[in-house]
Each structure stands twice: as C-alpha cells, then as structure tokens.
Chain A
Amino acid sequence: MTPSPVTGANPLRDAADRRLPRIAGPSGLVIFGVTGDLSRKKLMPAVYDLANRGLLPPGFSLVGFARREWEHEDFAQEVHDAVKEHARTPFREEVWQQLVQGMRFVQGTFDDDEAFERLRSTIEELDKAQGTGGNFAFYLSVPPKSFPVVIQQLKKHGLADQTNGSWRRAVIEKPFGHDLASAQELNEIVHEVFAPDQVFRIDHYLGKETVQNILALRFANQMFEPIWNRSFVDHVQITMAEDIGIGGRAGYYDGIGAARDVIQNHLLQLMALTAMEEPSSFDADALAAEKTKVLGAVKLPKDLGRDTVRAQYAAGWQGGEKAVGYLEEEGTDPDSKTDTYAAIKLEVDNRRWAGVPFYLRTGKRLGRRVTEIAVVFQRAPHSPFDTTATEELGQNAVVIRVQPDEGVTVRFGSKVPGTSMEIRDVSMDFAYGESFTESSPEAYERLILDVLLGDSNLFPRTEEVELSWRILDPIEQYWDKHGKPAQYPAGTWGPVEADEMLQRNGRSWRRP
C-alpha cells in the first residue's frame, strides 16, 4: 500500500466533492483605515460572515491599522459591535471566539516608520501564534491621496516582500485615479511594489450575485444569446440611481462627480459584461480579454453636446422629505460645476453591436435607489393585429435588476382577457429572493474570499481601468469647456435634457 503523498495535491480534495467549500489557505488581512465607514459597515461584517460560513482558514488573522489610540481589546470590541450591527448571518459566540484570537491592532499614522515596524512585528508574531504563514492581504481603505504613502511604507518596511512561497497582496478601492494620467500614475506606484497579479481592485458591483448572473443568463442559456445582437436589440439602458444626496461627503465628491464616481467603474463594467463576447472559459484571463475587447471597441458619440448630459440636483421633495439642492449642500462650492447626474450614449463598434446605442445614466437624489440593465428589443417587424389592438404594446425587454430586489424581468405583450383582441405589456419575473437563498453572500464577502484565494475573476485589471478612463476623459474635457450642468429637482428621474437626448432618437428612458 502506498499512502498518497500530500505534497501538491491534497487527497481529501476532489473536484467532484462539491460540498466542500473553497476555504482560503492560511492568511491574514490587514486593513488600513480600519476606523472608517466602509470598514465598519462592510469589511468587518464580511469577515465575520465568511468565518460563520466556515470559509476562513483556522487561524485567520485580522489586523487593524489606524491613528486611534486603541488596544487590541478595544479593536476587538469595535469589530464585535460592527459585526453585531451589520453582519448578515446570526451572531455565534464560538465563531467569534475563533476570530478574536487573531485580532490585532496597530496604532499609527501612515508616515510613522515606527508604526510600520510594529505592523511588521505583529505580522511575524501572528505567523508564529496563528500560523498565517506570511500570507497577508493589505486592504487600503484610505483616501486616494494616502495611497502612495502607504504603498511606499509597505515597500520600505519589507511588508510587500513575498518569501518562501508566501504571498502579499494589495487590495485597493475606487477611485482608481480621476483621469487616465492619474490612473496610470497610480498603477505605476502600486505595481512598483506589488506585482500586477497581486493587486486587487475592488469594484463591489462585480461581487454581486446578480452581476455574476449576467454571465450565467447569457452564456448558460440558449434562449437569450441568439437575440443578443444588433439584429434584435434596439438599445440598452444601464441605470444606477441613488435616492440619497452626497451626505457629508462634499469634500470627496465635489470635483469628482457622478460620471467619474460611477460610470467610469461600475457602469462601464456592467456594460462590458452585457456586451462582451463569450469568453473561452470562466477564468480571469479569458474574462479580462473579452471585457478589454469590448471596452476597446467603445465609440464615443460625435457630438458630445447632443449625446451626453450632466446635471445637478436642485432643491425638491424626495420621498416625502424636503431635500436641499447640491449647491446648497454643506461644504460644496456654490459655483461648483460638479455633476450629480450624468447620462451618456455610447456605441460599441463591432459586428454584434454596430449601431446599437448603450445609454448609461447615474445620479443622486433620483426617484429611488435602483441599479438595472435593460436590454430593449426592436418591435416585431410585422404585426397581424391592427394598430388599435397593439396600441398599448411597448417594446420587449429583458431587465436584469442588480439591486435592490435582485432578479430578472422579461417584458412582452399578452392578450388582455376579454372578447376583443387587445394586447398589452406584461412582465414575467424571476426574483432571486424567491428562488434562492435570502442570505446570499454580500459582495464584499465574495471579494475578500477571492482575494485570499488569489482568484482575480471579479476584479477589473489595469487595462480595463485605463480603457475606461480613455472613454470618459474626452467627455469630462468637453464638459469642462462647454456650458454648465443642467438642474433637476431632487426626487425626480433626472433633467429634461436627458429625456430630450433620447427623444431625438425616438426612444425614452425606462422608469426603473
């Protein structure tokens, strides 16, 4: 008898054994800016939920780095509170006990060499006490201006060095620059310290189940793909609407605006997934290749003044509450030209999509919070019914609802019951919550796990980021030089200019 060697292939692992979850190897996560909102509301609960689902390795360690004067216990308490408040899965004491053993806090500022030395010794201590094996991911939940400092400090103190087969990864959040030049600069800084395949750019939209479902819907089914092209599709609308204003984030938001904040990353990624060709396989390289091809084929409208719209919300009533206008928000420059609403028309120059417009819009203080992709089909070329019968019939549509109320809606015409022939639009609905688990993993859960596993399927790459800026930069430059933002009352679906932009092509925005 020969016992199977455990080197390389683990005999207990078997591709056919699909009950066994993908558990990350020994590792730890270091969060910079751990006192921030994102960390408390998303990252800490996600780490707990992962542990609760049994997806974290035994000995997983969580290190917080921030300026605050905390002891390890204070940090653990903070995480505890954040978990209790925001975690999706029920709180279980034994899971908490498992996690708390690997929690450490390092106090310091980003330019403090001593603090980074302490961080290094903390990591070494964790390798000994928790068996993390030198594998650490650094989550940079910090303002963009601190990126370079932190990255340089990591390099200076040898924290980015991968030794004896261990890994060090960097996780960075948007914004990835504010234009192409700054994005390239940022990439240079990061790639000087971390290899490109060890850099994970979080676009939390890509971690959402519904977004991954775009690929399943398109490529696992036979009934959608044959009509997913210019012969049948009239146009595509991708919407991300928020009902909130900028809140207290004027400092960050002013000068950035909706297009840079949302279109450059989320909407262009959604568009790439909607428009791309079938990847040869579901691995990171193949996916990135297809997305890159689509983003590279995007064509800007000739007349940017006609086919783009930007606007700011004015005072108005939002869902029964009075809302102030953007320019009256605390901390905004009263002469600000920052857009809180942006709508653009893009085309994809390839055989599949030539001539099909993709309308992308995003805004704050719109009717309600919703993100969706609507693929609107052409009308039937011939109708045997007379015009009165089909008066109320719109265009067929497949709508992928990304959030909230995740699901897919198919809209088509149906006969109204009765003796006369009358055809009206009806919706056929698939709701995630109805057919699958209500506790589907949160986007950050999935993404953190993927970082620890080193799986980069759901992370945009350098080329994608740069291509997206190439699409957006000319629009932003045009806006800088021409005119000023239109105004729309808070709580409505955007400025009339945006409606006119579609009317010129004989189309209209969906009310999501």
Chain B
Amino acid sequence: MKIDLTDITASKINKALVKARRAIGTPAVGMVLTLVVVTDEENAYDALKAAGDASREHPSRTLVVIKRVSRTPRDRTQSRLDAEVRVGADAGTGETVVLRLYGETADHADSVVLPLLLPDAPVVVWWSVGAPRDPAKDPLGALGQRRVTDSYAAEKPVDELRARAESYEPGDTDLAWTRITPWRSMLAAALDQVTCEVISAEVWGEEFNPSVELLAMWLADRLRVHVRRGVSAGPGLTEVRLETTGGPITLHRPDGAMATLALPGQPDRAVALKRRETSELIAEELRRLDPDDTYASALRFGVDRLGGARPAVSRVPAARTPATGGTPGLPDAVSSAASSEASAALDRVSPPALPPAAPPLSRPATPPVPPSGSTSGNASGDASDDSDVSRPTPAQMPPVKKAETPQ
C-alpha cells in the first residue's frame, strides 16, 4: 500500500502510517528499529532497495531523507515537505516513508524525522552518499545511536578516513569496514592454524578503496607490525600477505568471489569470499547496535602511519627474523621516498593540495628492495611518516594527525 502526500507535516505522516497499517489489517508494530537513510535523488532507489532487503532480517521503519536541490533563489525560499508512505508488501517487512525536503526544510530534516521515530527503539542513521564530516554532530546523526557512513562512496576515500578518525564518536561505523568482515574472519582463522610470529603484512586492492586502508590499519593495530598497501586492478581487495617467522600466509582473491588461502606447510585451500551486496552489509550493521571498538581502534591507528606500496617482485624472504627496534623489510628511506613520489603524482591529479602523506600508491618505480633491510631508521623518515620508524604500542601512539580539511 502506497500513499502519496504533498506539502504536509510530520504529524500528518504519522496519521497516514496508522491509517495504512489499519487498512492492511496489521495494526501491531513488530519493528525493532528505525533506519534513517540519508541520500540524494540519484542514489535513492538503490539505497531504498538495500534497506528493504535488509528489513527482511531486521524489520524496521525506514525513513528515507532526500534533500532536493533547489536551482533558483525563488525555489530556495519555498519550503515544502513531500512524503510517500509505503506499508505492507511495498516496504519489505516494515514500513517505509520517503521524505522529500525542499527549500529551507532541507536544513531542518531532523525536525521532520524526530516525530517519526519508533518509540523506544534504536535509531540507525545511514548516509548512503555525502556523509557529513562529523556524523555525531550532524543534526540527523545526533538522533541515532548508530551512524553508518560509506567512505567507499566518497570522492577521496583516504581523506574521508582521516576525517572519520578525527570525529569518531562511539556508534560510528563505516560500510567500508563492514565489507572486510569476511576477510578479517578468514585471516583470524588462518592465524588460529599456525604457530608463528607475524613480521610484516601487505594488503593489495583496487585504487580509491578505503577497505584496503581499513584492513591494513586493523592488521597494523592488532599485530603491531609494519603494514603496506599496494594497488592492484581489483575488484575490491585482492590480496593480503602476512610475513611470519614460519613463512608467508597469503589470502589471494583475484576475481572477487573465490580466494585461495596459503599457509606455510599446509596445502592451499579454496575459500569462498564473495563481495557482498549493500543490503547484506546493512543487515550486518544492524545486527549489533553497540559501539564497534575494534573499528575505532583500527581507524584511529591512522592512515598516515601505513606504509606505501612497493612492487610485488621485491618481497622479503619469509624466514627473516624481525630486526629489533626498527621496521623489518623495507627500509624507511625507500618507503618514504616512494610515498613522496606517489603523493606528488597524486597531487597533480587532485586539485586541493594535500599534506605529503602516504596515500595508496600505484606501483611506483621503486628500485627492488635489498632483502637484508638495514633499518636506517629514525633520521630518514619524512615528517608525515614518523610512526613507521618504531612502532609504539597503542597507548604510546601519538594522536591522529589532522588532515587539512579541503572545503
């Protein structure tokens, strides 16, 4: 059942919801949460579909907030609220209200959403695109105990991650993080099966995919080793390689569906590691509504403390023992040289000048790394790469570096 309402207020929408439920004969409300989807007209269809599919697992009231862009000064002064109420088969297992906000109303979306929240049920806010810099302080974000962003949909994902780290509040989470749950669980399962120490790690994936950074940061945070990113053709993440005292552990997924897990001294094994639909990601997000501390910890590790990429040929032999007090593997001089080269390259493409951090690199022309990496260490690292020199424990870690906000 679908009711179209033009130029109305929230209380009339509430009445329409009750009326629609009565009409289809199910006045009881079995919904467990309110999902507020903030999106634009272009992404509304996909977001709505994903939310509808996810509602099969989590029956919810879905409020889709679409801020309409007004193109003339006259339009901007006229504020208006349109709503489309869907109940029953049209709305998954819950009910859906699509809200279109015009003019000034668009700046006060929270005033429309607030009266429509389910009583005493959790609220999840999901920005399918265009998440605010500081989700918890956003008027809509402030309504939810869970704020879901998607840095994958951002123009500059790495910047986005920096901003997320800066503004992190308990309850924040990101779909780029949700996407790597299967990878993380497979890697954790892999480490369950071997007895050795991890020396360093590499994460390969397509360009502009923040999942690469998040996975790398998680590994760095948990394992306290140096982690590098590498750029491959994708799709998505393609490879994780852990160098351990017992030999390399690799999880390689060239096609986005089937991966091969190779453990030292064990036969290679095929594991299903399919890229998931947005609806599955949202369903996973809605499963737990408590703050995700692991995400916070990984995020706060800081993108800028990750190593850049290096050519795949120059892999460090597996059996090396870690050098004390320094980063095993790539000497920092090489690493930072590579990163500044690449960020220079990146600067040419992207207009706002960024600090020379270490964004993901597209295979720079680095000379092959001498395997016996003498850790030339402390003096050589450039300013932005300081933390690569000696890995502090999380307690000793410096505060996350502020990225210049390009506005």
Interface residues, chain A, with chain B CB atoms under 8 Å away: 1-7, 10-14, 16-21, 23, 25-26, 51-52, 54, 57-59, 92, 94-95, 97-98, 101, 128-131, 133, 429-431, 434-439
Cα distance A6–B292 in the bound complex, in angstroms: 24
Whether the Cβ atoms of B28 and A429 lie closer than 8 Å is yes
Query: Are B269 and A58 in touch, CB under 8 angstroms?
Result: yes
**Interfacial residues of chain B within 341-360, with CB under 8 A of chain A in the complex:** none
Residues of A within 8 A of B325 (CB): 1
A-B CB proximity, top 9 nearest:
A434-B30, A17-B294, A12-B188, A131-B266, A58-B269, A94-B272, A437-B57, A1-B391, A95-B272
Beta-carbon contact of B222 and A58 below 8 Å: no
Q: Is the CB of A6 within 8 A of B272?
A: no
* Chain A hits for B244, CB < 8 A: 6
Residue in chain A with minimal CB distance to B389 = A1
* With known contacts A1-B326, A6-B197, A97-B258, A435–B56 Cβ distance under 8 A: no
A24 → B minimal CB distance (Å): 9
Q: Which of A3, A130, A430, A435 has the most CB of B within 10 A?
A: A3
Contact of A4 among B223, B261, B290 (CB under 8 A): B223
**Is B270 a contact partner of A97 (Cβ separation < 8 A)?**
yes
Q: Tell me which residues across on chain B come within 8 A of A5, comparing CB atoms.
A: 197
Interface flag for B319 (CB, 8 Å):
no
Tell me if B195 and A128 are in contact (CB < 8 A).
no
Tell me the minimal C-beta distance from A495 to chain B in angstroms: 36
Given that A1-B325, A19-B284, A98-B270 are known contacts, is A58 also in contact with B189, CB under 8 Å in the complex?
A: yes
Give the A-B pair count, Cβ closer than 8 A.
145
CB within 8 Å of A: which of B205-223? 219, 222-223
| Contact present for A97 and B272 (CB under 8 Å) | yes
Assess whether B67 is interfacial by the CB under 8 Å rule. Answer: no
Closest to B226 in A: A1
B226-257 vs A, CB cutoff 8 Å, 1 = contact: the mask equals: 00000000000000000010000000000001
Return the chain B residue nearest A13 by Cβ.
B188
Instruction: Please determine whether A7 and B195 come into contact, CB atoms closer than 8 angstroms.
Output: yes
23 A-B residue contacts at CB 8 Å?
A: A1-B322, A1-B391, A4-B197, A4-B223, A10-B192, A11-B224, A12-B184, A12-B187, A18-B290, A19-B185, A19-B284, A19-B292, A20-B185, A26-B193, A51-B272, A59-B266, A59-B267, A92-B274, A131-B267, A436-B57, A437-B57, A437-B58, A438-B57
Shortest distance between the CB of A209 and any CB in chain B (Å) = 14
CB contacts (< 8 Å) of A431 on chain B: these are: 30
Q: Report whether B191 and A59 are in contact in the complex, using a CB–CB cutoff of 8 Å.
A: no
Q: Which residue on chain A has the smallest CB distance to residue B193?
A: A26
Which residues from B are CB-within-8-Å of A98?
Answer: 258, 269-272
Give A130 to B270 CA distance when docked, in angstroms.
10
Nearest B residue to A93, CB-CB: B257
Nearest opposing residue in chain A for B94, CB measure: A434
Contact of B269 among A21, A128, A130, A434 (CB under 8 A): A130
With a CB–CB cut-off of 8 A, which chain A residues contact B182?
A: 54
- At the interface, yes or no: B59 with Cβ under 8 Å from chain A? yes
- Enumerate chain A residues within 8 angstroms of B272, measured Cβ to Cβ: 51-52, 54, 92, 94-95, 97-98
In chain B between 318 and 333, which residues have their CB closer than 8 angstroms to a CB of chain A? 322, 324-327
| Distance from A231 Cβ to chain B, minimum over Cβ atoms (Å) | 30
CB-defined interface of B52-89 with A at 8 Å, one 1/0 digit per residue? Answer: 00001111000000000000000000000000000000
A3 to B325, CA, bound (A): 11
- Out of B193, B293, B322, which one reaches A16, CB within 8 Å? B293
B288 close to chain A: CB less than 8 A? yes
Q: State whether the Cβ of B198 lies closer than 8 Å to any Cβ in chain A.
A: yes
- Whether B316 sits at the interface, judged by CB under 8 Å, is no
A11 to B290, CA, bound (A): 22
List the B side residues contacting A52 at CB < 8 Å.
272
Docked Cα-Cα span, A429 to B85, in Å, equals: 25
Minimal beta-carbon separation of A2 from chain B (angstroms): 7
Q: Check B282 for interface membership: any CB of A closer than 8 A.
A: no
Bound together, the chains give a CA A59 to CA B268 distance in angstroms of 9
Who on chain A is nearest to B260 by CB?
A58
Residues of A within 8 A of B190 (CB): 58
Q: How far is the CA of A57 from the CA of B294 in the complex (A)?
A: 23
Instruction: Give A4 to B391 CA distance when docked, in angstroms.
Output: 12
Are A133 and B193 interface neighbours, CB within 8 A? yes
Q: Does B225 contact A (CB under 8 A)?
A: yes
Knowing A5-B197, A6-B196, the reply to whether A20 touches B188 (Cβ < 8 A) is yes
Q: Which residues of A contact B271 (CB under 8 A)?
A: 58, 98
Closest B residue to A8 by beta carbon equals B195
CB distance from B327 to the nearest CB of A (A): 8
User: Are A58 and B186 in contact, with the CB atoms below 8 A?
Assistant: yes
Could you say which residues of chain A place their CB within 8 Å of the CB of B294?
14, 16-17, 19
Are B57 and A94 in touch, CB under 8 angstroms? no
Residues of B within 8 A of A26 (CB): 193
Shortest CB-to-CB span from B283 to chain A, Å, is 8
Q: Contact between A101 and B270 (Cβ–Cβ < 8 Å)?
A: yes
Cα distance, A438 to B222, chains bound together (Å)? 34
Task: Kindly list chain B residues whose C-beta atoms are within 8 Å of the C-beta of A435.
Answer: 30-32, 59
In the complex, are the beta carbons of A10 and B58 less than 8 A apart? no
Q: Hey, which chain B residues are within 8 Å of A54, CB to CB?
A: 182, 185-186, 272
> Across the interface, which residues of B come within 8 angstroms of A17, CB to CB?
184, 293-294
Task: For residue B173, give the distance in angstroms from its CB to the closest CB of chain A.
Answer: 10
Contacting residues, chain A, for B270 (C-beta < 8 A): 58, 97-98, 101
Q: Indicate whether B390 reaches chain A with its CB closer than 8 angstroms.
A: yes
Q: Which residue of B lies closest to A5 (CB)?
A: B197
CB of B156, distance to nearest CB on chain A (Å): 26
Closest-by-CB residue of A relative to B270 is A98
Q: Which residues of A contact B223 (CB under 8 A)?
A: 3-4, 11-12
A55's nearest neighbour on chain B, judged by CB, is B185
B98 at the interface (CB under 8 A from A): no
With A18-B288, A19-B292, A58-B189: A6-B263 Cβ-Cβ less than 8 Å: no
Cα(A3)–Cα(B322), bound, Å = 8
Q: Which residue of B lies closest to A407 (CB)?
A: B30
Contact B195 A20 (CB under 8 A): no
Contact partners of B93 in chain A: CB under 8 A: 434
- A101: B residues at CB distance < 8 A: 269-270
For B59, the closest partner residue in chain A by CB is: A434
A135 → chain B closest CB, angstroms: 11
